[in-house]
Amino acid sequence: MANIHDILAKQELEFNDLVALLAATGDDRKALFEAAARTKAEHVGNVVYLRGLIEFSNVCRKNCLYCGIRLDNKEVERYTLSDEQIIAAARFALENRYGSIVIQGGEITSPAFTLRIENLLNEIKALSDGKLGITLSLGEQSEDTYQRWFDAGAHRYLLRIESSTKSLYNRIHPNDENHVYEDRLEALRLLKKVGFQVGTGVMIGLPHQTLEDLARDLMFFKEIDIDMCGMGPYIEHHQTPLYAERESLMPLQDRFDLALKMVATLRVYMKDINIAAATALQAIDKIGREKAIKVGANIIMPNITPGVYRDSYKLYENKPCTDESAEECTGCLDARITLTGDEIGYDAWGDSQHFGKKQR
């Protein structure tokens, strides 16, 4: 097998190289992490940008087999934030110089929903004088809906592919017309066509997932030329069907470590994209997000959902910050990021440099 330093010195990493990086242990793992840190400093700088996360609603039409807020989970109490609550959260982000917000929620598709988001976008744009960057993460929608939201001022969209290996995608989703792999791909294509900066990502440590699957995920990101990526460890939720397969999972710590190696490998592989330090990392390791920042991540999404609802937006167990308020997270994160040695990019959109270069 090729030497890790030879691999890291290559211009263009190939499938086998990616697998080798994901498999690295000991000194090799250390070399990967150091290379990722260097690449980050050189290509995107040691600046972490904030996206205030508003968990809009836990109502969802889908039934993803891994997710705690899936339609068929009757144990969750459903909520949807009011317009006033969302506007207040956006104002909080603006006043605390976050630069951007993310509006995330379960997948809802209806003309009324499209219109409600459109109106909210217009309102948030107006209240911030266009200053606040807006990312949406509201699932698969029609081209028309994407276009209307884009025209109303959203400019980034997150839609994880979850796994780019079709057979694995099908194992973690119901086999019905609401969960079609090709529809997911098509949605990603439409988002790009409309003009969004597009982010996708995967879960790491899924049952039956191999290093080869993950290497293919990385190649998929490059192939569809993403601008942003958010990926984190899979964390089993006891009220979901996939919980039945927990015996076949690798230990949580190993999933965490593999997630860090995915972040580092992606940084080396796609040098100028935005990579988020996923909140799920923090569910396993108390300084999980900080560790990801050290090895290539440059985005953090502090939760600014009104406190009472945070516990109901539980996609996975052990979710951090559910007892904290937006104010508490702000102070906490500032200290945490400072400890990594990076600075916070306050008051900036912090768009993906990769996207910026394509526009020129």
Residues that bind ligand 5AD (CB under 6 A): 66-67, 160, 162, 203, 232, 234-235, 237, 280, 315-316
Q: What b-and-e string marks burial along 205-228, b requiring 16 or more CB atoms within 10 Å of the CB?
A: bbbebebebbbbbbbbbeeeebbb
Q: How far is the CB of 139 from ligand 5AD (least distance, A)?
A: 9
Partner in contact with 234, chosen from ligand 5AD, ligand SF4, ligand FES, none, beta carbon below 5 to 8 Å by kind: ligand 5AD
Give least dist CB 243 to ligand 5AD, A. Answer: 9
Q: Is 312 annotated as a binding residue?
A: no
Among 328, 334, 347, 348, binds ligand FES (CB under 6 A): 328
Q: Which of 213, 191, 192 has its CA nearest to residue 202?
A: 213
Residue 162 labelled as part of a binding site: yes
Partner in contact with 203, chosen from ligand SF4, ligand 5AD, ligand FES, none, beta carbon below 5 to 8 Å by kind: ligand 5AD
Q: Are 282 and 336 in contact (CB under 8 A)?
A: no
- Do residues 291 and 285 lie in contact, with contact meaning Cβ atoms separated by under 8 Å? yes
329 binds ligand FES (CB under 6 A): yes
> What's the CA gap between 164 and 185, in Å, rounded?
9
Beta strands in the chain (DSSP E): 47-57, 100-105, 133-137, 156-158, 197-200, 203-204, 228-233, 274-277, 299-300, 343-344
Q: Which is nearer to ligand FES, 198 or 297 (CB)?
A: 297
Rule CB under 6 A: which residues touch ligand SF4?
Answer: 60, 62, 64, 67, 69-70, 106-107, 139, 315
* Partner from ligand 5AD, ligand SF4, ligand FES, none binding residue 70, C-beta < 5-8 Å depending on class: ligand SF4
Contacts of 44 (CB under 8 A, 6+ apart): 271, 272, 274, 298, 353
Question: Cα 37 from chain centroid?
Answer: 20
Q: Residue 333 interacts with ligand FES (CB under 6 A)?
A: yes
Shortest distance in whole angstroms from residue 283 CB to ligand 5AD = 8
Contact residues for ligand FES, defined by CB under 6 A = 302, 321, 324, 328-329, 332-333
